[in-house]
Amino acid sequence: MRDNATLPDQEMLAETVRKVLGQWLACPEPAGPPHKLFHSPRARELKQEIVRAGRKLWHRQYVDGNGGNISVRLSPEFVICTPTMLSKGDLRVEHLSMVNLDNSQVMGNLPQTSEIQLHLEIYKEVPEARAIIHCHPPYATAHAIAGIVPPGNLVPEQEIFIGPVVLAPYETPGTLEFARTVTPLVQRHNTILLANHGVVCWADTVTHAEWNVEVIENYCKTVMIASQLRSPLPQIPPEKVNELLAIKQRLGMPDPRLPRQHPRRKKRTPANGPASTTMPMQDPADTEALVATITAEILRIMELRG
């Protein structure tokens, strides 16, 4: 029998199993030739969703010029993304590109967004992240430029869908250093202010990531207006905040005020647009039971082989 001292730490092994399982559940699309994946019916739906979100961002003035970028995870290996140097108001399905997690473009006639590395680092860090939007909504970006994190516990929707706001330090956009400014933050926050730059949001669908952009922008705008009327602003009572956190925990959304969570995020169906294309949501208890079973079996096999 193998000496127990040589066996891997059970919690470390369980964390590895949990991450791999999360990636598998998040990306049910089977591996296949890149051109078939890129032109598959599912890819076509995701591309159309990206185009719709891009036009919403442009019409709401959350992007200007060729600013902003959108991506969605098509499979464990491939990501569809917007191209560089193109207004989101002019975006069409044929403009989109596909890259792998090493940022090599494998499909598309236009080069990928110069900031795709930011998206790829988030996908690697958060298996639940299926779609990412980076843009420059003016009120949220104003907070990012000023280096001011808006106070919390003021609006229920903010607490449920976003939670405490966090600010990532500045780095030159498009660099790996810039992408890695968010990696310590993205597991506990789905929306991050980027210093002197804008915001980045992840979610289970492109539509939901765009919703997060709307929520954070409206919140920053509302807080700025309310602060002119009264200071300090009255907060939601703590016991009522706990009720909101209970709702958030049931939805499976990340929040630094909640215990560390590993279950997948609950599905939200947009009023207009396709439903989430993720696998059916797993009950958190079932997911953790599966992780425990797989971990125990791996340890048993390793011990027997020893």
Q: What is the spatial distance between Cα 20 and Cα 255, in angstroms, rounded to a whole number?
A: 22
**Residue-range domain boundaries for the chain:** 1-28+289-306, 32-278
Q: So what's the pLDDT on residue 192?
A: 98
Sign of CA dihedral 251, 120, 116, 136: positive
Q: pLDDT tens-digit profile of 86-107?
A: 999 999 999 999 999 999 999 9
For residue 5, give every residue at least 6 positions away whose Cβ sits within 8 Å of its Cβ, in sequence order, or none.
none
pLDDT of residue 289: 74
Q: Which tens digits make up the pLDDT trace of 27-36?
A: 555 557 999 9
Residue 124's pLDDT band, with cuts at 50, 70 and 90, is very high
Residue with the larger pLDDT of the pair 264 and 245: 245
Question: What pLDDT shows up at residue 220?
Answer: 98
Sign of the CA dihedral with 178 first, then 180, 181, and 182 last: positive
Q: Is the pLDDT of residue 294 over 90?
A: no
32-278 is a CATH 3.40.225.10 domain: yes
pTM score, whole prediction: 0.78
